[in-house]
Amino acid sequence: MFLLVLDEFYLPVIVTLLAILLLLCIQGGLGRRELPPGPRVWIPIIGNAMELAEEDIRKPLRRLRKQYGNVYRLYLGTRLSVVICGYNAFKEAFIKRGDEFSHRPSMFVTDMISQNKGIVSSTGDLWKEHRKFALITLRNFGMGKSALEERIHKEVSLLMSSIDEQNQQPFDPSAIVHTSTFNVIAALAFGGHFNYDDSRFLKMLAAMNENMRNLGSSSAVNFFPFLRHLPGDLFKMKRTLHNVDFVEEYINEVIDKHMEEYDENKVEDFVSAYIKEMKVQKEHNRATTFTREQLCKIVGDFFVAGTETTAVTILWSMLYLTCKPNVQDQMFSEIRNSVGFDRLPSVQDKRDLVYTEAFIMEILRHAQVGFLSLPHSVPYDVIFKGYTIPKDTIILPDLDSVLSDPDVWGDPEVFRPERFISKEGALLNPEEFISFFAGRRNCLGESLARMELLLFVSGLVQRFQLLPPEGMTMCVEEYDGQFGLNHKPKPFKIRAVPRSIS
Ligand code: HEM
């Protein structure tokens, strides 16, 4: 009788319960054992947010690496994330297995902003096609070559005039440096140029800067989905989308004008080259991913990825040069000896400006404009270093773990441009120098950025001696500490005294 009841009633219940238990074990227990190690989650809705709650997020990340190794797991809210540290793991994931590790994860706010279009946030064939097109087109317009030099020189001269107007009084260089790098991108993207006091331009710059600043709070909505249902705009998500619309409205006007005035014999900027490609694809009746919407997002990507990063690197350079007069003197004597004063330093001088180039690389390594790269993902479950990384996990490449690894650099905390110069005096380019990332998703604008950095930094040092405000001494550490998407210096003021050529 008992067995009969067990058979007819309890057995299915027991089997169902066992199945649920097994499922829970696989999802929560056994499955997790295959995931990389990581700190325990006490409150699932928060994940490991408390472990990361420090202004300089590199500090907790360094501690976690020490505790869990080069591949560890974190929960950002409810989202599983895997941090990849150290050059070996970096190389294996993003270079050797770049096809798998070059995807982007889907994230609520980022998806709303980008709609998975453009280059930075797109993935798969759309990304491959457009990345290739953008690289070839920018190269044709002289990215990294001397054809673009004239445009950059124009911006260097404008920056210098603006610094001259400060009459050797202390000034904050941030706004004018941002204007300069934005103008280089505007020239390349649509042949544009903005005056330093153009009100629409200033509003666009302010909108982009505000979005960079708000990224921390608005991206919280990516990880804590319940926040998106709160009334008001506490996490600045609506504000962020409003700013994106404002900038895209301008880009769309530029595209309209280019379309109206299109002349196939006068393709001199990225927007015209893209319109040409759209026409070619249409003529051949191809099912195409080249659309006007995609063009708007790519120009937006160039604005965001190409303005702030380069501007902040120039600002760090100005701060380090002011704080380290010996370094500034050494760079000045190199420029004086190999370029002189009759003309601006040029790309052709690159092989003679070894110390200047090494200085720029050391700024990128030591100041770490980008200490954590953009989130990557995998398109399907992968096994990496013996661990399972499930599809759509957020993968965070920890650039700081490579750029400040004592096993690679010996004394990473010391600012020493000489580490990039061989005994024979040649510029070294170690593979661990990954400030521009490496592999399939490496920085699309690296050649342009390196060209801008060389021309702006060497031009400034040739023309001015950068000094602290009178009666003050300055040190880099005092101004360290603004962490958002980029790592930038706190606002600072310096004096620029024209050099006497004699
Ligand atoms: C000092 C200046 C710069 C630094 C340090 C820098 C750094 C980086 C890094 C680390 C990435 C890789 C992100 C990832 O993990 O996916 C990246 C991607 C990118 N960068 Fe730059 N960048 C700089 C300047 C520029 C400039 C001037 C442009 C202008 C065109 C640019 C355009 C891009 C684009 C479009 C991507 C996305 C590439 C892709 O997803 O395929 N960057 N950059």
Q: Are the beta carbons of 143 and 448 closer than 8 angstroms?
A: yes
Q: Is the CB of 436 under 6 A from ligand 1?
A: yes
CA 258 to chain centre: 29
Ligand 1 centroid from CA 120, angstroms? 8
Residue 4, domain member (yes or no) = no
Stretch 23-42: mean pLDDT, rounded? 66
Residue 93, domain member (yes or no) = yes
**pLDDT number for residue 301:** 95
Q: Is the CB of 126 under 6 A from ligand 1?
A: no
Q: Looking at ligand 1, which residue's alpha carbon is closest to its atom 34?
A: 444
Q: What tokens appear for 378 in the block?
A: 């995998």
Report the distance separating Cα 473 and Cα 466, nearest Å. 12
Residue 25, domain member (yes or no) = no
Report the distance separating Cα 24 and Cα 21, nearest Å. 5
Task: Please check the confidence at residue 4 and state whether its pLDDT lies above 60.
Answer: no
Q: Is the CB of 437 under 6 A from ligand 1?
A: yes
Residue 19, domain member (yes or no) = no
Neighbours of 26 (CB within 10 A): 12
Residue 7, domain member (yes or no) = no
Q: Tell me which residue has tokens 């992968």.
A: 382
What's the count of helices (H) and strands (E) in the chain, helices before strands? 21, 9
Residue-wise pLDDT for 255-265, tens only, equals: 999 999 999 99
Residue-wise pLDDT for 413-435, tens only, equals: 999 999 999 999 999 999 999 99
Q: Which of 138, 402, 443 should be mutated for ligand 1, with most atoms under 8 A from CB?
A: 443
Task: Please check the confidence at residue 21 and state whether its pLDDT lies above 60.
Answer: no
Q: Looking at ligand 1, which residue's alpha carbon is closest to its atom 20?
A: 443
Give the H/E segment covering residue 137. Answer: helix 124-140
Residues 6+ apart with CB under 8 A from 104: 110, 116, 121, 122, 123, 374, 375, 376, 377
Task: Please check the confidence at residue 150 and state whether its pLDDT lies above 50.
Answer: yes
**pLDDT number for residue 143:** 65
Task: Please check the confidence at residue 156 and state whether its pLDDT lies above 80.
Answer: yes
DSSP string, 455-488: HHHHHHHHHEEEEPSTT----HHHH--EESSSEE
Residues spanned by the domain of 253: 33-498
**pLDDT number for residue 212:** 81
CA 109 to chain centre: 17
Q: Are the beta carbons of 90 and 84 closer than 8 angstroms?
A: yes
Phi and psi at residue 353, to the nearest 5°? -95, 55
Task: Please check the confidence at residue 195 and state whether its pLDDT lies above 90.
Answer: no
Q: Tell me which residue has tokens 């100041």.
A: 367
Q: Looking at ligand 1, which residue's alpha carbon is closest to its atom 35?
A: 444
Q: What is the average pLDDT value for the chain, to the nearest integer?
A: 89
Ligand 1 centroid from CA 295, angstroms? 17
Residues 6+ apart with CB under 8 A from 380: 100, 391
85 is in an annotated binding site: no
The ipTM estimated for the assembled molecules is 0.99
**pLDDT number for residue 228:** 75
**pLDDT number for residue 10:** 53
Q: Which of 309, 373, 394, 456 should be mutated for ligand 1, with most atoms under 8 A from CB?
A: 309
Q: Report the atom number in ligand 1 closest to the C-alpha of 298.
A: 35
Residue 6, domain member (yes or no) = no
CA 388 to chain centre: 27
Q: Tell me which residue has tokens 């005056």.
A: 195
Ligand 1 centroid from CA 245, angstroms? 22
Task: Return the top range by mean pLDDT from 28-37, 73-82, 146-155.
Answer: 73-82
How many domains would you assign to the chain?
1
For the chain, the first-to-last Cα distance in angstroms comes to: 112
Q: Is the CB of 373 under 6 A from ligand 1?
A: yes
Q: What tokens appear for 491 in the block?
A: 């606002």
Report the distance separating Cα 393 and Cα 19, nearest Å. 26
Ligand 1 centroid from CA 464, angstroms? 29
Residue 113 pLDDT grade (very low, low, confident, very high; cuts 50, 70, 90) = confident
Q: Are the beta carbons of 299 and 271 closer than 8 angstroms?
A: yes
Report the distance separating Cα 397 and Cα 404, nearest Å. 14
The percentage of the chain sitting over the pLDDT mark of 90, rounded to a whole number, equals 70
Report the distance separating Cα 467 and Cα 498, nearest Å. 11
Q: Report the atom number in ligand 1 closest to the C-alpha of 143.
A: 30
474 class by beta-carbon count within 10 Å (0-12 exposed, 13-18 middle, 19+ buried): middle
Residue-wise pLDDT for 279-333, tens only, equals: 998 888 778 889 999 999 999 999 999 999 999 999 999 999 999 999 999 999 9
Stretch 132-147: mean pLDDT, rounded? 82
Residue 387, domain member (yes or no) = yes
**pLDDT number for residue 409:** 98
Residue 436, domain member (yes or no) = yes
**pLDDT number for residue 54:** 85
Q: Are the beta carbons of 396 and 490 closer than 8 angstroms?
A: no
Ligand 1 centroid from CA 452, angstroms? 14
Stretch 463-472: mean pLDDT, rounded? 97
Best CA proximity match to 137, nearest among 37, 270, 240: 270
**pLDDT number for residue 14:** 47
Q: Provide the CATH number for the domain around residue 395.
A: 1.10.630.10
Q: Is the CB of 306 under 6 A from ligand 1?
A: yes
